[in-house]
Amino acid sequence: MSYLPNICTGLSASCSTARRRERIAITPMTPLNRLEERSRAWGVVVEDTLETPGSLVAFGTRRSQPVVLKVVRQPGDEWCCGEVLAAFDGKGTVRVYEYTEGAVLLERLSPGTSLASIALAGRDKEAIEILARVIKSIGRADEAPANETNPGEAKTFSTVEDWGKGFEHYLTSGDRQIPQRLVVQGQALYLGLCASQKATRLLHGDLQHYNILFDSQRGWTAIDPKGVIGELEYEIGAALRNPCDTPELLSNPQTIELRLKSFEFDLQLNGKRMLEWGFAQAVLSAIWTFEDGGRVDKNNPAIRLANAMQPMLE
C-alpha cells in the first residue's frame, strides 16, 4: 500500500484545521503543464499520476530513488507546503528534496498506513500517544537554524491570529447555519488565547490522524503541513476533531477528557488552554466548511464536538 494518495490530499475526510492563505494571482500554466515542467527541472521519471480536487501528483523516481512530485492546483493553504517542510528539516515530517511555490518533490513513505486506521480500529488511546510522539519529533525542528542554506532569507508564515479572522467574516456574512452562541463564544476564546500566548513557534497546522503515516524505515511520519505560528496547545485542536468518520467518538465527553489528559501528561501542556483552543477551532473549522461552500448542520462533526465541549468550558 502506497502512501501517495494520502500525501497529496491530506485525505478530504479529515476535519482540517488549516486556513487558506489570501488568494494571489494564479499562474497561467495549467497544473499538468507545471507538473511536466517540474518533472523535467527536477529530473523525475514519472511512472503514474493521480488527480485530486486540490492537487496533481506524480509517482516516480529520481536517480532510482522513489519520489512524489506534487503540484498544487491553485494558491491556498498548501501552496507553500515545501517551505514549511524545509523549515521542519525532516524532523517528524516527510522529507522534501525540492520545492517552489505550488510544487514540491518529496520522499515516498511505505507502506503509508494512516494513523486513522489505528483509531478507527478502537485503539484511540494508542493513536493519541503516537500523535504526541510525532509532535515531540517535530518540536526538535526549533533546535536547528530556520534557514541554514541562506541565513539572510527571512521566512514568513501565517499566524493563528491570521487564521482567526474567519470568525468576523462569518459574523458579518449573514449566514446562520452555525449557532451564533458557538460563534460568539468561540471568537471570544480564540482572541483571548491569541493575546495570551507565551511561547510561539512554527506548527504543522493540521496535525491529525489522516496526516500521519507509517513508514517501515522512519516510523510514524507527518505529511501535508500547512504551517502556522502559534503556541503548542493550538496544535492539539486538529487531533480532537479526528478521525471525523466517528463523530460519536469525538463528541463523547469521556473521549475528549481522556485525550486532553493524555496530551497534557505526554507533552506537559496546559489542559485548560487545549480545551479552549479545541472548542474555538471546532467552531472555526465549521466556518471554513461554510466558506468552502459546504453545508453545516447539527450533524457536522466539528459542530457536534463544539456542542460537546461547550459544557466542559464551565
Region 235-244 average pLDDT: 97
Check if 4-113 and 114-313 are the same fold: no
Over residues 79-97, the pLDDT tens digits come to 889 999 999 999 999 999 9
pLDDT at 200 over 90: yes
Return the domain boundaries, the chain: 4-113, 114-313
CA-to-CA distance for 287 and 177, rounded, in angstroms?
9
Inter-residue contact 186 to 280 (CB < 8 Å) = yes
What Cα–Cα distance (Å) separates residue 225 from each residue in 62, 82, 196, 238? Answer: 23, 9, 25, 12
pLDDT at 4 over 50: no
User: pLDDT-based confidence at 258, cuts 50/70/90?
Assistant: very high
> What's the burial of 230, exposed, middle or buried (CB within 10 Å: 0-12/13-18/19+)?
buried
Q: Write down the CATH number for the domain with range 4-113.
A: 3.30.200
Q: Which amino acid is at 87?
A: A
* Confidence category of residue 122, pLDDT binned at 50, 70, 90: very high
Band (pLDDT 50/70/90 cuts) for residue 221 is: very high
Contact status, residue 76 vs residue 21, Cβ threshold 8 Å: yes
Q: Pick from 308, 296, 310: which is nearest to 170 by CA?
A: 296
Looking up cell 474567519 gives: 166
CA 275 to chain centre: 18
* pLDDT tens for each residue of 289-311: 999 999 999 999 999 999 999 99
Provide the pLDDT for residue 14. Answer: 56
Confidence of residue 16 (pLDDT cuts 50, 70, 90): low
Mean pLDDT of the chain: 88
Lowest-pLDDT choice from 53-57, 239-243, 259-263: 53-57
Mean pLDDT of 163-173: 97
Report the predicted TM-score, pTM, of the whole model to 2 decimal places. Answer: 0.87
pLDDT of residue 175: 96
Q: What is the pLDDT of residues 26-79, one digit of tens each?
A: 446 899 999 999 999 999 999 999 998 889 999 999 999 999 999 999 888 888
pLDDT bracket for residue 140 (50, 70, 90): low
Between 7-11, 23-27, 286-290, the lowest mean confidence (pLDDT) is in 7-11
The CATH number corresponding to 114-313 among 3.40.50.300, 3.90.420.10, 1.10.10.10, 3.90.1200.10 equals: 3.90.1200.10
pLDDT, position 142: 52
How much is the pLDDT for 155? 60
Q: Which amino acid type is present at position 54?
A: G
Asked if the model's pLDDT at residue 118 lies above 70, the reply is yes
DSSP notation for the chain? --SHHHHHHS-TTS-----PPPP-PPPSS-HHHHHHHHHHHTT-EEEEEEE-SSEEEEEEEETTEEEEEEEESSSSTTTTHHHHHHHHTTSSB--EEEEETTEEEEE--SEEEETHHHHHTT-HHHHHHHHHHHHHHHHGGGGS-S-SS-TTPPP--EEHHHHTTHHHHHHTT---SS-HHHHHHHHHHHHHHHHT--S-EEE-S--SGGGEEEETTTEEEE-----EEE-HHHHHHHHHT--TT-HHHHT-HHHHHHHHHHHHHHH---HHHHHHHHHHHHHHHHHHHHHTT----TTSHHHHHHHHHHHHH-
